[in-house]
Each structure stands twice: as C-alpha cells, then as structure tokens.
Chains A and B, each alone.
Chain A
Amino acid sequence: MDIQICVGSSCHLKGSAVIIEKMQAAVEKYNLVGKVNLSGSFCMGVCNRMGVTVSVDGEVHTGISPENFSEFFSDHVLAKLNG
C-alpha cells in the first residue's frame, strides 16, 4: 500500500510533521513495516483549512489532524488492508 503525506506549504503549516510521526508510529504498532510504503508529496491540489492531506493508494483524504488521525487510520488504512 502506498501512502503519501502532503508536505507542501499549506499542509506543512497545519502540521504535516505531526501526522508523519503518528503515521510511522501506527505503521510500527500494527506491524505494517514492509507492507506500507510511506512517502511525501508537495501538494495534491486540495488544500483547505481543516488539516493535512493524505493519499492512500491514490485515494485522497483531506483534513487529517492529530485529533482524527486514529479514526482515519483504522477506517482507511487498516480496513483497506484487512478488507
């Protein structure tokens, strides 16, 4: 699975760095190292005021924040991997 986290200006200011840390921790916690390929991206063209943009196998999700990260991870990463 390819996960891209946006590190462009808008997402950077909304905390890409924190989301990257959480993503790495989650990947380790669920033993997904090797199964998930993490990379950066400069802008996916859907900047907004809510949070960071993350794409999972090309599917773009916006507004990811430290608060909703766990929900996002289980709904769109774990569910997809297990489903």
Chain B
Amino acid sequence: MRKFDTKVQHLKYKVLREVARLAWKDQLLENVMDIPKMIVPGKTPTMRCCVYKERAILGERVKIAMGGDTSNPNIIQVIDIACDECPAAGYEVTDSCRGCLAHRCEDVCKRGAISFDHNHVAHIDKTKCVECGQCAKVCPYSAIVNRKRPCQVACKVKAISIDENNAAAIDNEKCIQCGACVYQCPFGAISDKSYILNVIDMIKKSEGNKNYKVYAIVAPAFASQFMHAKVGQAITGMKQLGFHTVIEAALGGDMVAMNESRELVEKVAEKGAMTSSCCPAFVRYIQTAFPELVDFVSHNPSPMVALAKYIKSTDQNSKVVFVGPCTAKKAECQLEGAKDYVDAVLTFEELQALFDSKEIELSELAEDVLDNASYFGRIFARTGGLSDAVAQALKEQNIDFETKPVVCNGIEECRMALLKLSKNPKILGGNFIEGMACLGGCINGAGCLTHGEKNKADVDKYGREAMEKTISDAVSILQNF
C-alpha cells in the first residue's frame, strides 16, 4: 500500500532510509557518496533534465538527512539547486483573454490596476496590483492566473522571498518552522533537517537500553498515520527499532489541559484573555509577529515537554525522543526549557524510513498496547480538541468558569485573532485563543505520511478507545506520587 501523499515525500523517504540503513551498520561515512547513485541508477533521468542533476540534488538531500547545514540555525532549509525557479510574477493575464466588452476585471479592481489595449485585451499594472485575486475570480474565461510560487502561497507568514538567483529564500526571523512550504513545494526544494542519525546513535549507544533507556513519546496524530498497519503493530515496531518503551504525548496533553484551565481563569481575570502554548509554530508566530502579545501566552510547556520532563523525573538515566507530525517541534526541542528534557525529534516520515531501514514490516508484527491518556488528551491532535479539553478540565475540577474559545484553524485564523487581541481583548469575541499553525491541527502537520479528511475521524475514534474517559483519571496516576 502507498505510504505517502506525494512522490516528493517518497524521494525524501528513500534518502532517509538509505542513510539510516548505512548508519545502523556503521558504514555511512564510507558509502555516503554512493547514495544518490543507489537511488537513481542508470542513465535515464526520471525527474529532472539529466541523471547528474538528479544525483546532485539527491546529494543535497543526503546532507539534510544527516542534519543539514549547521551554519544555518533554521531547521527548514532550501535546496537551492532543486528550486526550479517557478514563475513568480503573481497575477497575469493569459492568452485566454478574449478582449470582451464587459470588463468585469476592471470593475472589480479597487486599485485601478487594469487597463486595456487597442484589442480590448486586459493588462495588469504591477505597480498598482496588490494580488487580491478578485479579477481572476470574476473573469468568465478564467483568463487571469496567479503565478505566485507554491512555496510563497503556502507560507502564510510571508517568510519566503525570491533571491537574486531566482531561488526561494527563507527569512529566518519570520519563519515559524510550520513546514507548510516543505509539504507544498512541488519539487521538494525545501526540506526540514533530519536528526535520524542522532536517534540511531542514541539507540546504538544504549546497547539494548542497558546503558540508559531511550523512551519514545508519540503524538496523538500517530493514530491516523500507519494505514497499512495497526497502532499496536507500530508500537511493536518501535520497540524492535530499539526504543525501551513508547508513551502517548496525549498524556502530556491531559497534564497541560489541567494546568492550562487553571491558568486560564487567572489570566482572564488579569488580562482578559489567554492564548494556548502547545503549538510551537503558533508560539513562535506570536513572538515574531506580535511580540507585544507575549504576555498573553500560557506559561504551560507543550504536552511534549510536560511529559518528557515527567519521564526524566522517573528515570534520571534516560533519553527522550518525540515522534510526531511536526517540523516546528524540531526547533522547539532546541529551546531553553525544552532541550534538557527532549533529546531529539522525529517526524512520522522519518519513523517510517527507520522502520524500513531495518526491514521491519509493521503489518506482520504482533500488536502491542498504547494507552496512557484520556480521550481529551488524544484529541489535541485536531483543531478544537484543546479547547474541548480545557473546558472539560474546568468541569472536572468543579471550577465555575465559562471558556469562550476562539478556535484558530491554521495560521491565517491565528493572525486574525491576534490582530483583534492586539487592538483590545474585548473585541476578540472570546477569552481563549486556541492557535494551531496547521489547517485541521497537528493531523495535517508537514511531517505526516498522509494528510486528509480521514485523519480527523481516525484520531477521534482512537480518542474514544482510551481506557480513561476523563482527564482527572488519566493524570491521577501521576499526581499520586
């Protein structure tokens, strides 16, 4: 069964798998130069103009799979030679313009950017156009198209520009590491750096979890990822890879819901509103684009950090690896307050590559169990889930407080809510901003194997299967010590 949405993901996966395969055998350094030729053998190009360019780009992908450019602090990196110099002209009138009489494009353009030549064919004045797209919408011949680059369309925080060589360039000050450009670039020219080698090294040096134990925390979106296998089989697979045990990040979600609900009551009394803190891309967006709102952000650590901290308190001699759908978590784990607890972050794409590097066929494995959290901790993975969990936590603690969530699905909705908050908390229309950078929530994170409608249903179903039905029950085992 096909494991990925696109061929770009598949290519990235093949590189990760080969790098991992050699690393397990301690043969990476001798053979690293041969990986591109292993993936593109022969003389017939399948993706680009010639096999040499294909291999040159694969060489760059190998570097990213091995941790990427260390001089660039951003975990999102452009592979400039893979960037195809897509047309970047914005809205343009094409040959389909019939030179009609109605001129709806002109009527709808509030900037007066459209004029007509002697054949009545429309032209757009680039100095006036603000790229609103209204003209394209009203043209009955669909004669106006947007030639903006897919990466720039994907980047809602406007961190991508075009450099002097016509390649995409990322403004590290603005980038929130959400990975939208990584998933959307049709040529796979933007990638998230991988830390699979750190994880392989960690597992190897643990010598079968004797020297220290390597714990894996899996994000709740896990439930929607392995279509070809059951969750329990993926857990068995992870233990075969060498993880000591696997724990649900959703338990961290339960912990966060409890604390965040109490903080909400205080913060609303003090400042009128609060924002969530579990999505690292959203938190970074506030820090970069709305620094004046930083005090509104919940002080709670993310579920990943909350749980990793707890694991390290139960076992001082341990390493913690987070596995999730998120590229921004790779940046989060390097921050103060997180780096002491989370030793590495993998995406689901990378986990799949690790399975296959060891020839672990999930569908043939026995089922292990994964059950640490409640329904509410598990639904953090989708938009609206965190708000539901916070309301539930208040109810369970008998706190009389009405949460009025402003559920922001995707960074654009986050921006709207933050703009209102920056003007006046009273016009926000709520008291709790749930910010998720990815549309649909973590289940559509850039590091997912699959992105789709079905994922939400999978996560909800998985949530209902949790043994603990309430947040209090799930966290009680931790609070009892």
Contacts and interface: CB of A to CB of B under 8 A. Distances in A.
B238 to A, nearest CB: 12
B481 A40 contact: yes
Contacts, number: 57
Interface in A41-82: 41-43, 45
Contacts of A17: 473, 476-477
A20 B247 contact: no
Nearest to B217: A42
Contacts of B481: 20, 38-40
A42 B215 contact: yes
Interface centre among A4, A7, A12, A42 (most CB of B within 10 A): A42
B29 interface: no
- The range of chain A's interface size is 10 to 19
Contacts of B246: 9
Given A17-B477, A40-B477, A10 B314 contact: no
A43 B371 CA distance: 12
Contacts of B235: 9
Contact of A9 (B215, B244, B370, B478): B370
A32 B372 CA distance: 29
A12 B377 CA distance: 16
Interface in A18-41: 20-21, 24, 38-41
A18 B315 CA distance: 22
B467 A13 contact: yes
B314 A39 contact: yes
Contacts of B161: none
B476 A42 contact: no
Nearest to B245: A43
Interface of B: 209, 215, 235, 244-248, 311, 314-315, 368-372, 467, 473, 476-478, 480-481
10 contacts: A9-B369, A10-B368, A12-B371, A12-B372, A13-B369, A16-B477, A20-B480, A24-B480, A41-B314, A42-B315
Given A10-B369, A17-B473, 13 more contacts: A7-B477, A9-B246, A12-B371, A20-B477, A20-B481, A40-B314, A40-B478, A40-B481, A41-B315, A42-B215, A42-B311, A42-B315, A43-B244
Closest 3 CB pairs of A and B: A43-B245, A9-B369, A9-B371
